[in-house]
Amino acid sequence: MHEAWRYFLLFFGASIVANILLIRFIALCPFFGVSNSLETSLGMSISVIFVMVMATSVSWLAWNYALEPLGVGQFLYIPTFILVIASLVQFVEMVIKKTSPPLYRAMGIYLPLITTNCAVLAAATESVKPGFFTKLNIAYNYGFLESVVYTLGVAVGFSLVLIIFSAMRERIDLAPVPKFFRGVPIAFIAAALFSLAFMGFAGMFGL
Amino acid sequence: MEKERTLWGEFIKGFITTNPLLVLMVGLCSSLAISTKVENCIFMGLAVIFVLTCSNIIISLIRNFIPDQIRIPIFIVVIASFVTIVDLTLKTVPAVYERLGVWIPLIVVNCIILARAEGYASSAKLMHAMMDGLGIGLGYTCVLLIMSVFRELFGTGKIVIFKRTIISLGTSKMPVILILFPGAFITFALFSALLQWYQQRRKPGTREG
């Protein structure tokens, strides 16, 4: 029970309390890039959840079974992780194209974009160098399952905010906005209010 | 003389016409997250200038040997090597390293650097690529500094660099929200609206529909 509660806290902390988009400002480029319509943000969300969990799993294995035993982790983790992510994305793209054309049509165009989605690299890095965990009140011991749960939380938090925000932007398009604030500036103002709302989660469950 | 002028043009365009943050809208994440303190921005700006210029130089040098199909992985490996250099160098300043945290490895996926490698350095001469890297890097740093000065000065009432107070407004009753998370979005929205206002004033013929 205690163990399950800890995993829940990890998930909740990563997805809501320290939301990757609104509280930590990671991965803002896709956030403003694809949040124009609800449909594209749904496609992006599914792809991100899928790729992020796989990328962290592989990066964790690479760190614990290759880089760390050889003692080169400090010097090679950046190139290794980014190569893992890039090749993984390519691989996933090919597999999906072969096995499921409808799914490929839904998330195909977002997959190359994910390579440069900072959230993927951030989650992979933090699964082995948990600077962020020290800010939340969670005991963390670099386990495989913990890394995966944490990454899942980050990805779900990303998707949640992306989908809500794209619905908001579809509504804003119809609103009478002051002339110079049309387009990008009003989107940022909306994001500011959204972020203010998420700050209300700080401290929940003692996180 | 002609050649020097074009080099200067490559350098200067990063500030205004192709400013990475305000015009191209790339590299937003890091700029919003770390612009709470001027000190952070100085280090982040230096890191980005270094990585951008060096990777532009290397990519421009090897541009004729790179097979077209695998150019993106090669660019990323070049960038990642320079980011590792920055990562290990900044470790000597533990206070700053701790605050910048995950943003240092994230320079690898900073869209600015890959965009310049792909869109410019892979088809430009050495000197041009170098000046482009310096210009874009300085343009990024400038916006970062302006944003952070605005946020730190009006959010906390004073600017502190290396534990020395540079400017102080003499009061602590300030809108703290500017250095909190929503403040980043609001600051950027104001800047971006200002730029739209400026652009629309310069061409009065254009009317919104």
Residues of chain B contacting residue A195, judged by C-beta atoms under 8 Å apart:
181-182, 185
Only one residue has tokens 């400038």, namely B142
- HSE at residue B177, side-chain half, CA atoms within 13 A, is 12
Residues 114-133 on B with a CB inside 8 Å of A are 114
Q: Is A24 on the interface with B (CB under 8 A)?
A: yes
Q: Taking CB atoms and an 8 Å limit, are B181 and A23 in contact across chains? A: yes
Query: Is the ipTM beyond the 0.90 threshold?
Result: no
When scoring A31, A84, A116, A161 by the number of chain B Cβ atoms within 10 A, the one with the most, hence best to mutate, is A116
Residues 86-105 on B with a CB inside 8 Å of A are 87-88, 98, 101-102, 105
Instruction: Tell me the per-residue pLDDT of A78-121, one tens digit each, with 9 for 90 and over.
Output: 888 888 888 888 887 888 788 878 777 766 666 777 776 778 88
The domain tally of chain B equals 1
- B209 domain residue, yes or no: no
The pLDDT > 70 percentage for chain A reads 89
- B208 domain residue, yes or no: no
All structural domains of chain A with their residue ranges: 14-198
The pLDDT > 90 percentage for chain B reads 5
Q: Which amino acid is at B150?
A: F
Q: Which residue has the higher pLDDT, B37 or B166?
A: B37
Question: Cα distance from B177 to chain A (closest Cα, Å)?
Answer: 9
Instruction: Tell me the per-residue pLDDT of A109-155, one tens digit each, with 9 for 90 and over.
Output: 667 777 767 788 888 888 777 665 555 555 566 688 888 888 899 89
- Max mean pLDDT range (A88-102, A135-149, B105-119, B134-148): B134-148
List the domain range (segments joined by +) for residue B142: 2-202
Question: Cα distance from B65 to chain A (closest Cα, Å)?
Answer: 20
Beta strand segments in B44-178, E:
158-161, 164-168
Question: Cα distance from A103 to chain B (closest Cα, Å)?
Answer: 25
Candidate from A60-69, A70-79, B126-135 with smallest mean pLDDT: A70-79
- Structure confidence at residue B87 (pLDDT): 87
Residues of chain B contacting residue A120, judged by C-beta atoms under 8 Å apart:
109
Candidate from A64-73, A170-179, B60-69, B167-176 with smallest mean pLDDT: B167-176
DSSP of B166-192, one letter per residue?
A: EEE-S-----GGGTSHHHHHHHHHHHH
Q: By the 8 A CB rule, do A199 and B183 touch? A: no
Residues of chain A contacting residue B30, judged by C-beta atoms under 8 Å apart:
25
Instruction: Share the mean pLDDT of chain A.
Output: 81
Average pLDDT of the segment spanning B145-173: 77
Q: Taking CB atoms and an 8 Å limit, are B208 and A182 in contact across chains? A: yes
Q: Looking at the predicted structure, is the pLDDT value of residue A163 above 60?
A: yes
Residue of B nearest to A191 (CA): B185
Q: By the 8 A CB rule, do B35 and B187 touch? A: yes
Q: Taking CB atoms and an 8 Å limit, are A192 and B186 in contact across chains? A: yes
Determine the distance from the C-alpha atom of residue A187 to the mean position of all C-alpha atoms in its chain, rounded to a whole number: 20
Give dist(CA A62, CA A83) in Å, integer.
Answer: 11
Query: What confidence tier does B143 reach under pLDDT thresholds 50, 70, 90?
Result: confident
Closest residue to B208, CB basis, from A83, A118, A179: A179
Q: Taking CB atoms and an 8 Å limit, are B106 and A183 in contact across chains? A: no
Give dist(CA B146, CA B128) in Å, integer.
Answer: 27
Give dist(CA A56, CA B132) in Å, integer.
Answer: 35
Give dist(CA A125, CA A77) in Å, integer.
Answer: 8
Residues of chain B contacting residue A25, judged by C-beta atoms under 8 Å apart:
29-30, 32-33, 181, 184
Instruction: Tell me the per-residue pLDDT of B2-38, one tens digit each, with 9 for 90 and over.
Output: 445 577 777 777 676 677 776 666 777 778 888 888 8
